[in-house]
């Protein structure tokens, strides 16, 4: 059985009480029992390998067996995700987190049907971040992905200018994504458009920022699956898979 992972802030004590939402989930949903193994992480690479000593109604008392630091992966993979319709954004975040994407940037593209404004923006971003957190624990990731604030096209262009290598997925591109020359360090940034696609003006701005239009494959993928497919290609090519 895979050792479950839970988030905890302070991993320094020899005995740790896992309480709050994480403790309730461990005790009532996972139904962990004394003697079972648990890994705690702060989501930034620190890991405490623990065993359950005692179970309360909504908490666990854990004894630390050992600690370790998991180095951050390199190169870093950043996916700029055009806002999809409905709950497809959360599906995209879940799959990209499981695959190993390091940063997910919600992008208010010109052709995005969904618009994040006011209270709706805060709630949608919170859902994306919650999805990434839960998917990261399920995938046993000790460096949880960052879900950034919603970005404008100008902010995406600035992000592309600072990348070690940058690509924009486009069905009319001549170069395959698998042919990109990848760096050993720095950021690989990939832009995924919304359902309506990327406009000519957006492509122009991203080209000027240093991004290469790239073809993902012979078929047109949904925006919610294009990011994870691109991640699979790039993580394999970079040696992280």
Q: Does a cis peptide bond (omega within 30 degrees of 0) precede residue 75? A: yes
pLDDT given for residue 86 in this prediction: 85
**CATH (one of 2.40.240.20, 3.40.50.720, 3.40.190.10, 3.90.226.10) for 5-69:** 2.40.240.20
133 pLDDT band, cuts 50/70/90, is very high
Using alpha carbons, list the distances in angstroms from residue 61 to 36, 54, 138, 166.
Answer: 11, 5, 21, 46
Instruction: Tell me which residue of 50, 84, 52, 77 sits closest to 65, measured CA to CA.
Output: 50
220 pLDDT band, cuts 50/70/90, is confident
Q: Cβ neighbours of residue 29 under 8 Å, at least 6 residues apart?
A: none
Which regions of the chain carry the CATH code 3.40.1280.10?
76-237
Average pLDDT, stretch 133-145? Answer: 97
pLDDT over 80 (residue 1): no
Q: Pairing state of beta strands 5-7 and 15-18?
A: unpaired
Overall size of the chain counted in residues: 241
pLDDT (tens digit, 9 = 90+) per residue, 43-73? 999 999 999 999 998 999 999 999 999 999 9
Residue 217: both structure tokens together: 């494959």
Distance from C-alpha of 153 to C-alpha of 150, rounded to nearest angstrom: 10
Count of alpha carbons within 13 angstroms of residue 121, beta-carbon side: 11
222 pLDDT band, cuts 50/70/90, is very high
pLDDT over 90 (residue 149): yes
**CATH (one of 3.30.9.90, 3.40.1280.10, 3.40.718.10, 3.90.1150.10) for 76-237:** 3.40.1280.10
Residue 193: both structure tokens together: 């458009």
pLDDT given for residue 110 in this prediction: 95
């Amino acid at each position: 059985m895979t050792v479950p992972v839970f988030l905890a802030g302070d991993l320094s004590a020899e005995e740790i009480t896992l309480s709050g939402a994480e403790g309730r989930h461990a005790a009532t949903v996972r139904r962990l029992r004394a003697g079972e193994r648990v890994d705690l992480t702060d989501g930034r690479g620190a890991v405490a390998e623990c065993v359950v000593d005692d179970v309360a109604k909504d908490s666990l008392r854990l004894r630390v067996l050992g600690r370790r630091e998991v180095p951050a992966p390199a190169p870093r993979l950043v996916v700029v995700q055009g806002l999809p319709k409905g709950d497809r954004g959360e599906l995209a975040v879940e799959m990209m987190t499981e695959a190993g994407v390091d940063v997910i940037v919600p992008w208010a593209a010109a052709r995005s049907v969904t618009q994040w404004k006011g209270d709706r923006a805060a709630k949608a971003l919170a859902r994306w971040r919650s999805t990434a957190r839960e998917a990261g624990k399920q995938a046993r990731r000790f460096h949880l992905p960052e879900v950034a604030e919603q970005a404008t096209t100008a902010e995406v262009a600035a992000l592309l200018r600072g990348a070690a290598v940058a690509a924009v997925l486009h069905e009319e591109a001549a170069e395959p994504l698998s042919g990109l020359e990848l760096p050993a360090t720095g950021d690989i940034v990939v832009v995924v458009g919304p359902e309506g696609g990327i406009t000519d003006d957006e492509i122009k701005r991203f080209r000027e920022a240093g991004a290469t239009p790239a073809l993902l494959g012979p078929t047109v993928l949904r925006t919610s699956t294009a990011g994870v497919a691109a991640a699979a290609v790039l993580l394999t090519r970079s040696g992280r898979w």
